[in-house]
Amino acid sequence: REAAGMAGLNIFASQNELRAAYEHDLLKKSARVAVIPNGLAVSDFKTTADSPIRLPSTTTEKPIIIITAGRFGDYAKGADLVYRAFVRLAKVRSDVFLVSVDDQQRFAYILQTLPADRYQLVDWLAREALFSAMTQADFAVVPSRYEPFGLIAIEAMAHGLPVVAN
């Protein structure tokens, strides 16, 4: 609260975040504030990089490719949700393949009940490579339990992907 009071301007990404700051008494009523929503420059959506998606060589037909991405070391991002859902789906559908792009593999043990050729875990990617992966996917899953601004969802939709979000 003291730092916010001394700041020349307190910037928030949404009205909800600003409201939460007031509700939690983090701002004095006299604090200078501005709301500047997140945004995207569609011109940045280059897809010239090689896609990191590597389908198994045993695949004869292209499977339905599901992509998910996030800071999955954070429980709020919901990796466990998408992994559990995918395990259930993969047990009844042989034509699905999950690509998970994340910074950690904290919940990867959930997928280990499936054959390794049903999913691919990819370390965090540069934006261009992520966008190339999105062009190969059939839809994106954003399983966050809480998301103030779902950048991955917006980027996927900008690439024409349907998005399943929690």
User: For 80-100, what is each residue's pLDDT tens digit?
Assistant: 999 999 999 999 999 999 999
| Pairwise CA distance, residues 123 & 105, whole Å | 9
Task: Assess whether pLDDT exceeds 90 at residue 150.
Answer: no
- Rounded to two decimals, the pTM is 0.74
Task: Tell me the pLDDT band of 165, cut-offs 50, 70 and 90.
Answer: very high
| Pairwise CA distance, residues 62 & 94, whole Å | 11
pLDDT at 47: 66
Taking the C-alpha atoms of 77, 83, 88 and 90 in order, what is their torsion angle to the nearest 10 degrees? 130
pLDDT at 58: 64
Task: Assess whether pLDDT exceeds 90 at residue 149.
Answer: no
Q: Looking at residues 17-37, what average pLDDT do you find?
A: 87
More confident residue, 61 or 45: 61
| Pairwise CA distance, residues 25 & 108, whole Å | 38
Task: Report the mean per-residue pLDDT for the chain.
Answer: 87
Residue entry with tokens 């998005």? 163
